[in-house]
A and B are shown apart, each in its own frame.
Chain A
């Protein structure tokens, strides 16, 4: 149950600077032992991780495979319509049991390890061992082998608006308590219908997973690193925006209201067409949108500790799931969604705006490279620290985007969980 078996205690590995969460020791982005502890204390610790969308497993027996940190996970729809999550590791030799991204076991209602055909039910119980009694009374498992003592690790599962989350410990607070009311309300607001998957791809990044998490919470960088909006005069500097957090500062929302300076006429429910004459683009219809949300928020990025992001960029709605791939690599899985009751025109707008996001996204592609720039930069100076003081030295929501308050919020919970 541990990846940190060979690691020294965390307190021997890092001493956090006395300045607290305004400083981050750079070694946490490069150290293998710290990485092992993160698997145990964060990903298998008292946190909820995103596993997928309910719509991916509509029927009993439907399953998907995914990861929490490094741990392979099976998520399956049970006979009674519930959802179970199991560690995808056979108790015999440790092989993964399900090796496809998705599938269905609707007839058999079990999982069969491909190596020696050990068979498990959807609760993780070991039901059958091939040749358990041997062949012609020779071989087989010992008489006293107790199958009930060997089972797949089962996670707790909860859902919110079609998103599936899982956690390892019994002690993790319930999902809604873990998220807090501000985060719950925003998830329920963003996912206002029955989701429909429009596309899925991933971005492989050459940086530690935490550098991407920081990036997703850093609302200081977008207008500086992602120059697309400003170069083509697409952003209005007077647009209202800010940062929200739950009351423990674990999670984060940054939001913008693009049309706050445009008067009330922009807020009707129809399409808002970008005028060609006002922009540097030959085809500004790229940023045509409809006002999808009554709160008039046109951009929001919600980052849930440790590695989940829910995005609304104009009408581009999607989830991003961070999968750890070693100290200096991670993978970001993007799922772009619409809703069942979207009109054809609305789907078209979402498809067109897909140009803004993902590894080729006009306002997001740089995020795939910038973490690697940091990873390259810190190599010779792992005894040094990052400085995180934009917007002050505290945590908490702020009526501005010129702040790193939510990056500090991340490190606050990180330190609590890691005990440093």
Chain B
């Protein structure tokens, strides 16, 4: 689950694939930032992997980060928990993402990596850079629709402020 990202960009990616992936990246970030979390699981294939694995552990090939879902039901359970259960001060994220570097194909999915910065704004207005890092993705593209088969969030820092209730 910690395969190293293939090096170098793929040059022969069809424009339609690039468009579909770019759209997926943008919609993913907007859904989270605009508090439409119910959309979040649908950016993934049914059998999928979503993980937040900080950079030092990712580099060392350790399997445990702070978040691990290996099917869409688990993603939906997370959303239910965020909405109904977990206790936290109201806050929102703002994702800024780089263009995706599409690195190749792996077993029918496009591989890509994308940098991100997430600024967290608390209800009282306090803001901070909450997380910066990269997404290491495997994306299935079917016509105009792209979905993550695998999204490993690799934050540069293994230190998290207070709690991480909303997905990165």
Q: Which residues of B contact A347 (CB under 8 A)?
A: 63
Chain B, residue nearest A199 (CB): B64
Known: A198-B62, A283-B71. A365 touches B85 (CB 8 A): no
CA–CA, A369 and B66, complex, Å: 16
Tell me if B73 and A359 are in contact (CB < 8 A): no
Q: Which residues of A contact B133 (CB under 8 A)?
A: none
Among A203-211, A243-251, A288-296, the one that faces the other chain is A203-211
Residue A201 is within 8 A (CB to CB) of chain B in the complex: yes
CB A346 to nearest CB in B, in angstroms, measures 12
Among B15-23, B32-40, B155-163, the one that faces the other chain is B155-163
Q: Which residues of A contact B89 (CB under 8 A)?
A: 369
Tell me if A368 and B163 are in contact (CB < 8 A): yes
Chain B, residue nearest A352 (CB): B68
CA–CA, A368 and B74, complex, Å: 23
Residue A202 is within 8 A (CB to CB) of chain B in the complex: yes
CA–CA, A312 and B62, complex, Å: 19
The prevalent SS among residues of A at the interface is mixed
Tell me if A360 and B164 are in contact (CB < 8 A): yes
How many chain B residues have a CB neighbour from A under 8 Å?
A: 36
- How many pairs, one residue from A and one from B, have CB atoms within 8 Å of each other in the complex? 114
CB B22 to nearest CB in A, in angstroms, measures 28
Tell me if A282 and B73 are in contact (CB < 8 A): yes
Residue B84 is within 8 A (CB to CB) of chain A in the complex: yes
Chain B, residue nearest A358 (CB): B66
How many chain A residues have a CB neighbour from B under 8 Å?
A: 39
Residue B99 is within 8 A (CB to CB) of chain A in the complex: no
Tell me if A203 and B85 are in contact (CB < 8 A): no
Among A21-29, A133-141, A225-233, A401-409, the one that faces the other chain is A225-233
Tell me if B85 and A231 are in contact (CB < 8 A): yes
CA–CA, A360 and B73, complex, Å: 18
Tell me the residues in window 62-91 of chain B with beta carbons closer than 8 Å to chain A beta carbons.
62-71, 73-74, 76-78, 80-81, 84-89
Q: Which residues of B contact A190 (CB under 8 A)?
A: none
Chain B, residue nearest A347 (CB): B63
Tell me the residues in window 81-133 of chain B with beta carbons closer than 8 Å to chain A beta carbons.
81, 84-89
Tell me if A351 and B57 are in contact (CB < 8 A): no
Known: A204-B160, A360-B163. A351 touches B68 (CB 8 A): yes
Chain B, residue nearest A373 (CB): B89
**Which residues of B approach A to under 8 Å, CB–CB?**
52-54, 56-57, 62-71, 73-74, 76-78, 80-81, 84-89, 158-165
6 CB contacts below 8 A, A to B, read A227-B86, A281-B73, A281-B77, A282-B73, A354-B68, A362-B86
**Which residues of A approach B to under 8 Å, CB–CB?**
197-206, 225, 227-228, 231-232, 280-283, 286, 331, 336, 347, 350-352, 354-355, 358-362, 365-366, 368-370, 372
